[in-house]
Amino acid sequence: MAPATAVNAEYKEICKFSKVSISLPSANDKFAKIIDEHQIELPNGSTITVPRHIRRGYFVGKELVTVNYFVNPETSPATKILADITVVEKNDHHREKTSLVLDVRLSSSEDKRADYVLKMGGPNNGNTENNFLVPGTNEYLRFSEIPRN
């Protein structure tokens, strides 16, 4: 593995959602890229290893939200999965910009019914605990609860 790449950014975990229904990018998605395992050195001097994953950016308004799919890249593309999603705030000191990153991992729950669906963009739906304003926009990432009968 190559030496760690120094990044001039800080990452802060905001919230986690379990059992979210989400689709993987399609195989011919020109905005999705497989990223090999690598290390990054944070401004505090610590080094972390980032496993191999699929990275895709989505524009919400005019801002980019990065989604890291920590799943086997050979998983059938465009497959709907049940995932645990961590919402991360990235403060990029080099660009002097704050953005949101979503880290997606397969859910380990034995109950395979989704509790949430992720919707990117649009207005706040009134549930402030499950809505995250995309910095630089008036639009939100919304984790909408799926009603149970």
Stretch 28-50: mean pLDDT, rounded? 90
Q: Model-level pTM?
A: 0.91
pLDDT of residue 27: 80
Stretch 41-60: mean pLDDT, rounded? 92
Stretch 73-97: mean pLDDT, rounded? 86
Q: Are strands 9-23 and 80-92 parallel, antiparallel or unpaired?
A: antiparallel
The DSSP symbol for 128 reads G
With a cut of 80, say whether residue 125 has pLDDT above it: no
pLDDT of residue 75: 67
pLDDT of residue 6: 78
